[in-house]
Structure 1
Amino acid sequence: MGASMAGVFATAQNLALMGVADTDAGAASNAMNQVGGAVGLAVLTNVFVAVGGGAGTGGYVGVFLVAAVGLALAAVIAAVLIRVDPADAPAKRVAVSAH
């Protein structure tokens, strides 16, 4: 369920931000981060309760295991699916000091 939710939310964020002006992109992206954090917390809370949270450390072990597996899976998916064409990459900017 978590993997499919990650795919849905990433796609939803892209669709939601597609028509946003550059000047408003930061605020819109922050809203999506808030939603993602809330959903992630809800999923991990459900795992905690399902594993037996409150009775010892079993709930915490389950939550950290699920979070670690989700993070590893997200890293693999990102490494495989995200491709940047060098022609589309922004040019490197050199910082100039005003001393």
Structure 2
Amino acid sequence: MEDRIMKILSLIIGIFFFAFYIVIIDNIFYNGSYLGFPYILLTIYFFISIFTLPLVSLEAGEATKDKNVFVASNSLIGAYLISPIWVASKFFKSKGS
């Protein structure tokens, strides 16, 4: 039950990170062009990260549990950024073996 709650919480955090990305790109940097060519790729990647973060966040939290405060507090952001790559590599490893 605790893992399910943590996955739901990770999904909510992923949505928050995606919304933060949209606000930054839309309002501050490029005035609404996050669907323009170079940024649409980043938008799609971060959208996929919303759904892959719950799969990776528990493992990333366990890996950084005994690290210093800076590493542990930023591990969720790092997990959000690399979660699609992490899930894809695990998928291809399981297909290969």
The alignment's TM-score, normalised by the length of structure 2, stands at: 0.42
Higher relative contact order (CA 8 A, sep 6+): 2
More helix as a share of residues: 2
The alignment's TM-score, normalised by the length of structure 1, stands at: 0.41
Q: Which has the larger radius of gyration?
A: 1
